[in-house]
Structure 1
Amino acid sequence: MKTTMLLSISRVFFFLITIVSFSQNKQLKDHVLFYSSFDGKLSADVSVGDAMMYTAENYKKTANAKTGLHNPNVVLAKNKGLTGDALHFKKANTSAIFYKAHKNVGYSSKSWSGTVSFWLQLDPNKDLAPGYCDPICITDVRYNDAALWVDFTDHDPRKFRFGALGDLEVWNPENKNDDAKWKKRTVTVNEPPFEKGKWTHIAITFSKVNTTKSTFKLYLNGQFKGVIKDVNDPFTWEAEKGKIMLGLGYIGFMDELTVFDKPLDISEVKSVFELKNGIKTLFN
């Protein structure tokens, strides 16, 4: 009798968990602005704006960018992804490889919120070339002027950072090195969990940018790592020039690049991290 009752309770509990998970996944699906699985193609699986990937010689020559990949050291790696294929940067990348951010990141000059989610695989202390590298940088100009980015520092061992730097003329008008200003606008992880042969999930969230209540958070493998707040620098873009820049100086794998139109909370970030077959699970 007791065993039968316990089995019934277990079934009900499992059913409820399944329903909650399905409901949350459906809700997350409705908030996807952009998703590139890199499975057999470079173009995004889901996009509100331009779905194509672009390559230019460098970021000063993006007006001459061509669709597709035109760097032999950056390739689609068959069956090397979290699921399916992945983007592989085989040598330190100096070319401009990007998706257009216009509409794909939901930028607003009045109040901008969202989440950028992706996976990386590398050993930063062994794989990267000397110097800093930015796997992701989202801006219309450069890394220190109205930009969101993550980077690996040139320390030994390497540190991992999330930066949210508003208009350069506001936060650093003289463009001088100022550690206090940098630290206020970055989250630094001194011992990040990246390993060779192991995928690491990164999520950066941003809330109410271009208001007086902006907040930025970093998560690694579903765990909260830090917050940037009480800064409130404006992020002024020429929206159509915005770019999702990929793999600046990076060596390693990248997969499952996704932009949501809202800042995911920690339970939602964990849900994305735990998706067995990646973001495509949300669309099945």
Structure 2
Amino acid sequence: MLRTLIVCVFLVSNVTMAKADDELRQAMTFYASFDQSADADFAKGDRQIYTLDKFGGSKVVPGIQIEQAVWDSDDGRWGGSLDFRDNSESIVMFQGNQNMPYGDGFSATISFWMLLTPEIDLKPGYVDPIQVTDKKWNDASIFVDFSQENPRDFRLGCFSDYKHWNPTDIKWEELADSDRPLVTVKKPDFSRERWVHVVIVLEDMNREPSYARLYLDGRLQGTHLGPHQISWDPEQVRIMLGIKYIGRLDDLAIFDRALTLKQIRQLAEFKGGLRDLLKHQ
């Protein structure tokens, strides 16, 4: 009797885990493990990695074309990673069309891992490990960044269309902190000694209410409450990586829904990274 009960519990547990994995797999729109190459393993849009000539530029060429950023087959969270070794005007990027969810009431989750000691590795100035937009940093833009001076804050920016969130065009320096569409983490626990899991959750963008949440290592750091109005030309959206960033970045994934806390923690539990999800398609 006991043996039968144990077998039943084991089977139910396996079925539950398989269902949870399948939900993540179905929600995934983009995934780059960086284990075999710099290109994405899976993408609903373009899998190719590109180099943009400069922020706001128009010249995009295939591959990583700058010496300051390299694909490294070793020393990732799992396998390889992107290694950003110095600042560059040019930017490594993926195309956002179909890879980054968008539409009326869209939700999305962006998950990735970072390895750096900000106070040692970063040069003065704002640093964006990832930024998604078709315009500028303060106009219909989603990003995480480090503040420009030590000790560094880590921040989630969820900027609506510029005229929506700043209709009277107040200078950034004159805006109260409460009027800036940011979630700020003081003294973030980043280190060269351990990888940190970063997750951005967007829920019901372009509707009311809407939410932007930042998680570090499975813990909620803060929420920015909308309304958020984001107007993109999907064909022009860019997923830009390593803007003035010096450090490693690994296992970048995007999902077409707002993942729950349980699902976010599940992302970190795969022994081989999210490649394990793709192995069981």
TM superposition shift of 1:18:
3.4
Deviates more, 1:16-25 or 1:154-163: 16-25
Match of residue 166 from structure 2: 172
Per-residue deviation at 1:189?
1.0
Partner of 2:136: 142
- Alignment partner of 1:51 out of 47, 53, 66: 47
* Partner AA of 2:140 in structure 1: A
TM-score, structure 2 as length reference = 0.92
TM superposition shift of 1:262:
0.3
Verify: 1:127 aligned to 2:121, yes or no: yes
Shift, 1:11, TM fit: 5.9
Give matches, 1:5-24, under 5 Å: 5=2, 13-24=9-20
Corresponding residue SS for 1:140 = strand
Aligned pair 1:38/2:38, yes or no? no
**Letter in structure 2 aligned against 1:120:** M
- Partners of 1:93 and 1:40 lie apart in 2 by 24
| 3-state SS in 1 of match to 2:132 | strand
5 Å-filtered alignment, 1:27-106, equals 27-61=23-57, 63-106=58-101
Out of 155-164 and 141-150, give the one that drifted further. Answer: 155-164
Q: C-alpha distance in 1, partners of 2:113/2:5?
A: 37
Matched residue, 1:248: 243
Where 1:27 maps in the other structure, the secondary structure is helix
8 Å CA contact retained: 1:212, 1:232: yes
> How far does residue 246 in structure 1 lie from its aligned partner after superposition?
0.5
Residue 281 of structure 1 is matched in structure 2 by: 276
Unpaired runs of 5+ residues, structure 2, are none
The CA deviation at 1:12 is: 5.1
* TM-score normalised over the length of structure 1: 0.92
Counterparts in 2 of 1:184 and 1:10: CA distance versus 1, 3 Å:
farther
Displacement of 1:175: 4.8
Distance in 2, Cα, partners of 1:275 & 1:179: 42
**Structure 1 residues 156 and 93: alpha-carbon distance in aligned structure 2, compared to 1, 3 A threshold:** same
Match of 2:156 in 1: 162
User: How many pairs are equivalent?
Assistant: 277
CA shift for structure 1 position 38: 1.1
- Give 2:229's aligned amino acid: P
Please give the alpha-carbon distance, in whole angstroms, between the structure 2 residues aligned to 1:187 and 1:140. Answer: 21
Which deviations, in whole Å up to 9, do the C-alpha atoms of 1:27-76 show, x marking residues without a partner? 10111000011122122111111111111221232x22100011011101
Give the 3-state SS of the residue equivalent to 1:113 in structure 2.
strand
Matches within 5 A, 1:207-218: 207-218=203-214
- Assess if the C-alpha contact under 8 Å between 1:40 and 1:76 holds in 2: no
Aligned-partner residue type, residue 169 of structure 1? K
Contact 2:56 2:135 in 1 (8 A): no
The residue aligned with 1:196 is 192
For residue 23 of structure 1, report the CA deviation from its aligned partner.
Answer: 1.6
Residue 14 to residue 171, structure 1, CA distance change in 2 (3 Å): same
Q: CA RMSD in A?
A: 1.8
Q: Does structure 2 conserve the Cα–Cα contact (< 8 Å) formed by 1:215 and 1:227?
A: yes
Distance across 1 between alignment mates of 2:20 and 2:115 = 27
Match of 2:111 among 102, 117, 133: 117
* Paired residues of 2:124 and 2:149 also in contact (CA < 8 A): no
SS in 2 for 1:129: coil
Q: Aligned partners of 2:9 and 2:242: how far apart in 1?
A: 43
Q: Does 1:239 align with 2:234?
A: yes
Residues of 2 paired with 1:154 and 1:13: CA distance? 52
Q: 2: distance between equivalents of 1:182 and 1:166? A: 15
1:146-176: CA deviation from partner (whole Å, max 9, x where unpaired)? 0110001124221111110101112124151
